[in-house]
Amino acid sequence: MQMAPMILTLPWGVALIVMPVVGALACYLFRRAAKPLGLMTVTVTALSAAGLALRTTRADSYHHAVGGWGAPLGIELYADGLSVLMLVATAIVACAISFYAARFFDDKEQARFWPLWLLLLTAMNALFLSRDLFNMYVALELTGLAAVALTALTGSQDALSGAIRYLLATMLGSLAYLLGVVFIYHGYGTLDLAMLGQLVESNPVTWLALGLVSAGLALKTALFPLHFWLPPAHASATPPVSAALSALVVKTAFYVLLRFWLEIFPSEGAAPAQLFGLLGCAAVFWGGVQALRARRLKLLIAYSTVMQIGYLFIAFPLGILLAWHGALYLLLSHALAKAAMFLAAGNVLYYGGHDRIADLDHVAQRLPLTVAAFALAGVSIMGLPPSGGFVAKWLLIQASLDTGQWWWTVPILAGSLVAAAYVFKVVGFAFTQAEAPQEAKLVPVSMQWTALVLAVAAIALGLIAPWTLTWLDVGDPFSGAVSR
C-alpha cells in the first residue's frame, strides 16, 4: 500500500512536542474557547503518539536531529520501545484526564487549567523523546513548574502549601541532578546519553556525578525517604490534577533515572542497586502502613503511589531483562490504575463534597460505575490476575527466583496483602451508610465513564502482555543492563 510508507516517514516525534505547545498557546490566547481547543489538541497529540508507535513497530527506533546538528553539538530526539510505551501511556491517561476535566471544572478554572495542562503534556513528551542530559534538565524543570502550578490551581490553603513544598523539593532535585550533569560534562565532554554510555569509566568523578543524579531524581520520584512532599501535594490537588501527578509526573523522573542506569550504571557494580532495592522495600512498607491509616480517600491513594514506586526500585538489584519488564509493566499499569482511582475519588468528591472514607454514604448504590472503577483499579494495584499489575508482580517474582535473590519476593507479596487491605477498606465503606445523610450532587456520566475506562484498560493491559512486552524491546533499550 502506498500510504503506509508515507505515514511512517511523517515526523511524529516532532508532532508530539509541537502540537501540545501550539494548543497551550492557543488556549491562553483564546480563553473562552480553551475547552474545545484543549480537547482537540489532546486528541491530535494522542494520534501522533499512535503514529509514532506504528512507526517503531514497522521500522526501528526513531531518530531526529534537531537543527540538523547531531550529537554532541546539537540535541537529538530519540524513541525506542521504552520511550514509545511511555508516550502511548501518557497519551491514553492524558485523554482520559482531559475529558474528565472538561466536565469537572467550572469556566474560570477551565481557562487556567488548559494552558498549564497542555504545557505539562509538552514537557513530558519532550522528556520521553530526549537523550541529551541538559535537555532533560530543562524538560524536567518545565514538567515540575507546570505540575506545581496545576497543584495550586484551586488556590486553597492546603493546595498552596502542598504546591510550595512540591516546588522546593523539585527545585532541589533538579539542582542536584544539574550538578551531577556538570561533572559528567567535565569528565567526559559530552551531554548525549548514548555517547556517554560508551565513554564512561569508574572513577570518583563518575561516582560523584551518578550519586548526585540519583539523589536528585530519587527526590523527584518520591522514593522513600525522600517522599515527604508527595502525599500533601497529591492529596490536596484537585482530582484530575492528582491523577496526572501520580500517574505520569512522578514517573518522568524515574524514567530519566532508568535511562541513566541502563546506559551507565552497569559498570558501577551492585552496591547502588542493593541500596535502591532496600529503599524500595522501605517505601512499600511505609506507604502501605500510611495508606491503611489514612482517613481521607485522596491521601490513601497518594500513599498508595509511594508504595507502588517502591516496587519499581526492587527491579534494580534483580537486574535481568525479566525484572525490567516487570518494573515497566508495573509503571504502565499503575499509571492507568492510579489515574482511574483518583478520577473515581474525584467523582466521590463531586458527589458528596468530601472524601472522608468513613463517611462514604451509600456510594456503591448511587455511583456504581465509580465504585466499579475503583475496585477494578484496585485489582491491578493489588496484583490480582489477569490485570497488568499481576503480570508485573509475576515477572518480578520470577526474576527474583531466577537470580537466586528469593528474599525480594517477600515485600512484593506482603505489599499485595496490604494493598488488598486498603482497597477492601474503601470498597467496604462504599457499601455502608454514613451517620448523617449528605446532599448528593449528580455526577456527569462522562466523568464516571472515563474512570471506568481507565480501570478496564489497566486490566486489559494484563491480557495483552505478550504483545506489549515485545513492543517494549524495540530498539533494545535494556541491552546495556542485561549484558552483565
Partner 1 sequence: MNALLPYTLTGVGLFCLGLHALLTHPHLLRKILAVNVMGSGVFLILVALAKRSDSPVPDPVPQALVITGIVVAVAATALALNLLLGLAASSGKAELAEDLDE
Partner 2 sequence: METLTELQWIFDVLTGCGLLWLAWSCLSSRNLHRAVVQFVSFGLLMSLAWVRLEAPDIALAEAAIGAGLTGALLMASLARLPLSGSADIRALKSAERIAGARLLQLLRNSLLFAFALFIIYAIFFLPPEFSGLREEVATEIENAGVRNPVTAVLLNFRGYDTFLELLVLLGALFGVRIVGMQPVRTSMTSEPVLNILASLLTPILILVAAYLLWIGTDGAGGAFQAGAVLGAGGVLLLLAGWRPARALMASPFRSLVLLGPLAFVFVAVLPLLSGRALLQYPPDSAGTLIVLLEIAATLSIGLTLCALFLNVSADDGEQP
Binding region for partner 1 (CB under 8 A): 134, 138, 141, 145, 148-149, 152, 155-157, 160-161, 163-165, 167-168, 171-172, 175, 178-179, 182, 185-186, 191, 231-232, 293-296, 299
Answer for which of 5, 59, 107, 207 binds partner 2 (CB under 8 A) is 207
Three-state SS across the chain? CCHHHHHHHCCHHHHHHHHHHHHHHHHHHCHHHHHHHHHHHHHHHHHHHHHHHHHHHHCCCEEEEECCCCCCCCEEEEECHHHHHHHHHHHHHHHHHHHHHHHHCCHHHHHHHHHHHHHHHHHHHHHHCECEHHHHHHHHHHHHHHHHHHHCCCCCHHHHHHHHHHHHHHHHHHHHHHHHHHHHHHHHCCCEHHHHHHHCCCCHHHHHHHHHHHHHHHHHCCCCCCCCCHHHHHHHCCHHHHHHHHHHHHHHHHHHHHHHHHHCHHHHCCHHHHHHHHHHHHHHHHHHHHHHHCCEHHHHHHHHHHHHHHHHHHHHHHCCHHHHHHHHHHHHHHHHHHHHHHHHHHHHHHHHCCCEHHHCCCHHHHCHHHHHHHHHHHHHHHCCCCCHHHHHHHHHHHHHHHCCCHHHHHHHHHHHHHHHHHHHHHHHHHCCCCCCCCCCCCCCHHHHHHHHHHHHHHHHHHHCHHHHHHHHCCCCCCHHHHCC
Q: What, of partner 2, partner 1, none, does residue 286 touch, CB below 5 to 8 Å by kind?
A: none
Judged by beta carbon, residue 69 or residue 431, the one nearer partner 2 is 69
Residues 3-32 that bind partner 2 (CB under 8 A): 11, 14, 18, 21-22, 24-25, 28-29
The reply to whether 134 sits near partner 2 by the rule CB under 8 A is yes
Answer for which of 88, 126, 330, 392 binds partner 2 (CB under 8 A) is 126
| Least gap, CB of 130 to partner 2 (angstroms) | 9
Q: Which residue has the cell 475503583?
A: 374
Q: What, of partner 2, partner 1, none, does residue 123 touch, CB below 5 to 8 Å by kind?
A: partner 2
Answer for which of 16, 42, 53, 139 binds partner 2 (CB under 8 A) is 139
The reply to whether 36 sits near partner 2 by the rule CB under 8 A is no
The reply to whether 331 sits near partner 2 by the rule CB under 8 A is no
Q: What, of partner 2, partner 1, none, does residue 172 touch, CB below 5 to 8 Å by kind?
A: partner 1
Q: What, of partner 2, partner 1, none, does residue 419 touch, CB below 5 to 8 Å by kind?
A: none
- Overall size of the chain counted in residues: 484
**Integer angstrom CA distances of residue 274 from 209, 277, 427:** 19, 5, 36
Judged by beta carbon, residue 62 or residue 303, the one nearer partner 1 is 303
| Least gap, CB of 102 to partner 2 (angstroms) | 18
Binding residues for partner 2, rule CB under 8 A, total 52
Q: What, of partner 2, partner 1, none, does residue 157 touch, CB below 5 to 8 Å by kind?
A: partner 1
| Least gap, CB of 425 to partner 1 (angstroms) | 14
Site string for partner 2, 76-115 (x = CB under 8 A): -x----------------------------------x--x
The reply to whether 74 sits near partner 2 by the rule CB under 8 A is yes
Residue 117 CA to chain centroid, in angstroms? 15
Stretch near partner 2 under the rule CB under 8 A, chosen from 101-109, 203-211, 299-307, 352-360: 203-211
| Least gap, CB of 233 to partner 2 (angstroms) | 14
Q: What, of partner 2, partner 1, none, does residue 178 touch, CB below 5 to 8 Å by kind?
A: partner 1
What is the contact surface with partner 2 in residues (CB under 8 A)? 11, 14, 18, 21-22, 24-25, 28-29, 64-69, 72-75, 77, 112, 115-116, 119, 122-123, 126, 134-135, 138-139, 141-142, 145-146, 148-150, 152, 155, 183, 185-187, 189-191, 203-205, 207-208
